[in-house]
């Protein structure tokens, strides 16, 4: 079992930055791949970014590439999502996830989820 707790969401204006954090517990953090997903109102949950257990490989959805950056600190059992140049269309609940990274699909297959944190970007 893995427990995930997100923090860092909030209300910002277009063009602003936010950094989301996700603290993990319950399993050796350095043995699991991590990622972020988001779900906007009326839409399906979508992949945002993933990082492998060592931190050596990352992938980002095309919609956030160049603006968002995923990273992890295995000493702190924490994964981050740095979000720059935020747009109103980035408004969603952001979920931290733990699972297995697919190098073929360049996405995370999630087995565990956090409770989510709301990010709202006003125009």
pLDDT at 110: 95
At 105 the pLDDT is: 85
Backbone φ and ψ of 32, nearest 5°? -125, 145
What is the rounded CA–CA span in Å between residue 20 and residue 29?
18
Block residue for tokens 């160049």 = 66
CA-based nearest residue to 17, from 82, 88, 93, 92: 82
Q: pLDDT 10s digit of each residue in the chain, 123 long?
A: 899 999 999 999 999 999 999 999 988 899 999 999 999 999 999 999 999 999 999 999 999 999 999 999 999 999 999 999 999 999 999 999 999 999 888 899 999 999 999 999 999
Q: How far apart are the first and last CA of the chain?
A: 40
Tell me, what's the pLDDT at 27?
Answer: 82
DSSP string, 41-107: TTS--EEEEEE-TTS--EEE-TTTTTTEEEEEETTTTEEEEEE-S--GGG-EEEEEEEEEEETTTTE
Backbone angles phi, psi at 94, to 5 degrees: -100, 130
């Amino acid at each position: 079992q893995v427990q995930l707790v997100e923090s860092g969401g909030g209300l910002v204006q277009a063009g602003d930055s936010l950094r989301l954090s996700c603290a993990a517990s319950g399993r050796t953090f350095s043995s699991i791949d991590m990622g972020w997903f988001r779900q906007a109102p009326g839409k399906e949950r979508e992949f945002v970014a993933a990082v492998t257990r060592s931190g050596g490989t990352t992938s980002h959805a095309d919609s956030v590439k160049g603006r968002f950056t995923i990273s992890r600190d295995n000493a702190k059992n924490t994964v981050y999502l740095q979000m720059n140049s935020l747009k109103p269309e980035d408004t969603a609940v952001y979920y931290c996830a733990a699972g297995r990274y697919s190098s073929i699909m360049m996405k995370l297959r999630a087995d565990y989820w956090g409770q989510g944190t709301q990010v709202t970007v006003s125009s």
